[in-house]
Each structure stands twice: as structure tokens, then as C-alpha cells.
Structure 1
């Protein structure tokens, strides 16, 4: 039997709101109810939930993203708050005992973090992934999870990107190259 965890990736103001610093805009906003629904479902099932949130310092000269993207998800800013209904859900459920809020500083939620150690300590062998952006942070997280031996489930109706072609390519890559189960496809 699978012991599962939901990983919600970067569903923050900066990545989703109209005025976000690196927003995917409408595609990200359209998955809001699906993400909150998954969080509610996993909590009601007494399953693990990981909220992985990008964290950067302003003008960090050593971080590779500084040269690639405008400043986003800067420590201490409103841009790191969860977007919309997920922020409300988080505030109501922040004491849920199987909820882990984590900072990440790279695309993958596994890179330079204790996520793998935490999941293994809890005997998690199946991860469900949703959030933004499908072809960047979800992609790198899922590649790492695949290489670590997790069973992968991607919630397509709860994933988005600012690049529609990249989103579609990533979903096919998850299925055909990583062996992920894709659920919620239209």
C-alpha cells in the first residue's frame, strides 16, 4: 500500500497573481480550486502535505536565477504568501500535524533540502505533485523524485505554466519518460 504525500510547489502571489513578480497569470489562477481541493482531500485522508515555497534574497550574486529571471519570492515579501484560497486554507490548517512548510532555493524541492529525508522517515513512497510552473519547478522536482525511486502522480488540472507548450511537453515527459501517472487531464 502506498504511503503518499502531496507536494504543492510555488503556489504564491509572485507566481500566480496578476501583479506577481514572475507570474504565470490566468493559467495559474485557474488551478486555484483544484490545488485547494487536493490539500483538503489529503488532510481529510490524514496524508502528508508539503508546501514547497521558493525563497530568494534580493540581487543575490551567487544564485543562478538572478541572471535568468526578475527578482521574485524575495524573503520577507508578500510575494511569498500563498495565492488566494490556498493562503486562507493554510492559515486555517497550519497546525495540521502532517503539514510541512518548506523553503527551497532551487527549482527542485529536493535540491539542497531535507525533503527526501523527511519523506523517507515517514515511509512515504508515492508523491502527488501540483503547482507552478509545470516545465520548471515541477519538472525538476519530479526528475529528482524519479531518481530517488518515488512513485509519481501528477495532477494536471492543478499544474500550470506561463508557457503552454512547455506545460504540455512537461506532462508528456512526466508520463513517457518518468513513468508518472497523470490524473485530471482534460
Structure 2
């Protein structure tokens, strides 16, 4: 039976999570690791899709809007862009699985400027489960686009963190009350 569900692990990289990351949410992002890995294992065991949309940048790109907003981060080929903690070996172990894949994104939303929508529709996915960071930036913008594209959205509260607790709390409320997402632990 074909799965209609995908887990999106958004931007769970050293630059966004590790203590020395260029744009890190720190401890709140680090404690997500066991929950994200547990979900990833469950999705793989169920034959569901696990997709890792991962931010990539060129330092000081004069044409990218984030250059004016944030320090250089998630630069291709750097430690900062590597998956954080246990997600790195997990991905290496599962990357040969045709239902697990990582791809580059250059904007907040995993849908902006990518073929994610086409890939999901080709695979008959109608429900996206969202985890990763930052809940108030990239996870939020991905959720807004998923809403506008008519996907069912599930946000795992124990799988997302923001740059601040206030931002995370606002995003969780927005997911549920404005985007109609299911917010679960």
C-alpha cells in the first residue's frame, strides 16, 4: 500500500542547533534530537517518506535577502551545514533508501524555488509532518506554503524549536489556529 504521508526534517544542522552554530537556537533545538530520530525511524518502518529540506547559502551573496538579515550560515561544504548530532549518522545509514532523501533549499520555505510540491504530488502525499528548526522561520514558512497548497499539516511540538521561546510559542499557536494544523507532542 502506498504511503500518503511524509516527515519533513527541516534545517536540523549544526549552524542552527549546535552551541557554536552561526545562527543557533541552542539548547531548545538540541533537546529535539531524540524525538526527531524516533519519528524518522517510525516513518521509515511504516514505509513513509522522510525528506530533509536543508538550507544552503553562499557567503555574502548580494542577491539573497538573508545576507542583510543574518550572518553567513549553512554554507555548502562546511561543518555548519552538516546534520546535527545523531541525525548525521542516521541519514548516512538511510540515504540509500528510496524513501529518504535530502535536498537543498535557499529560502525559508521548503517549497520556495524547489520541486518539493511536485515530488510530494507524484508520490500521492497529502499529509506533511513537520519537525526541525526554526519553528518561527523555516518551519513556519514551510507550513504556510503547505497550507496554501492544501496539504494536511501535522506539527510535532516536541520536534520543533524557535530562536526564542516566545517565537516558538507564537508559531505553535499560529500553526494550530491560523493554518489548521494538528499540533501534537
Normalising to structure 2: TM-score of the pair? 0.98
Q: Tell me, in whole angstroms, the C-alpha distance in 1 between the residues paired with 2:95 and 2:51.
A: 11
Q: Tell me, in whole angstroms, the C-alpha distance in 2 between the residues paired with 1:2 and 1:97.
A: 13
Q: Tell me, in whole angstroms, the C-alpha distance in 2 between the residues paired with 1:61 and 1:90.
A: 32
**Paired residues of 2:136 and 2:163 also in contact (CA < 8 A):** no
Give the match for residue 134 of structure 2.
Answer: 133
Three-state SS of the structure 2 residue aligned to 1:84 is coil
Three-state SS of the structure 1 residue aligned to 2:136 is helix
Equivalent residue runs for 1:160-171 within 5 Å:
160-171=161-172
Three-state SS of the structure 2 residue aligned to 1:139 is helix
Three-state SS of the structure 2 residue aligned to 1:134 is coil
Can you list the C-alpha shifts for 1:94-143, whole angstroms capped at 9, x where unaligned? 11110121100000000000000000000000000000000000000000
Q: Flag as ranges the 4+ runs of structure 1 deviating above 6 A.
A: none
**Paired residues of 2:3 and 2:48 also in contact (CA < 8 A):** no
Give the match for residue 85 of structure 1.
Answer: 86
How far did residue 14 of structure 1 move?
Answer: 0.5
Give the match for residue 70 of structure 2.
Answer: 69
Normalising to structure 1: TM-score of the pair? 0.97
**Paired residues of 1:13 and 1:20 also in contact (CA < 8 A):** yes
How far did residue 47 of structure 1 move?
Answer: 0.2
Three-state SS of the structure 1 residue aligned to 2:137 is helix
How many pairs align?
A: 184
How far did residue 58 of structure 1 move?
Answer: 1.0
Long gaps (5+) in structure 2: none
Long gaps (5+) in structure 1: none
Q: 1:24 to 1:36 in 2, by over 3 A?
A: same
Give the match for residue 57 of structure 1.
Answer: 58
**Paired residues of 1:2 and 1:125 also in contact (CA < 8 A):** no
Three-state SS of the structure 2 residue aligned to 1:135 is coil
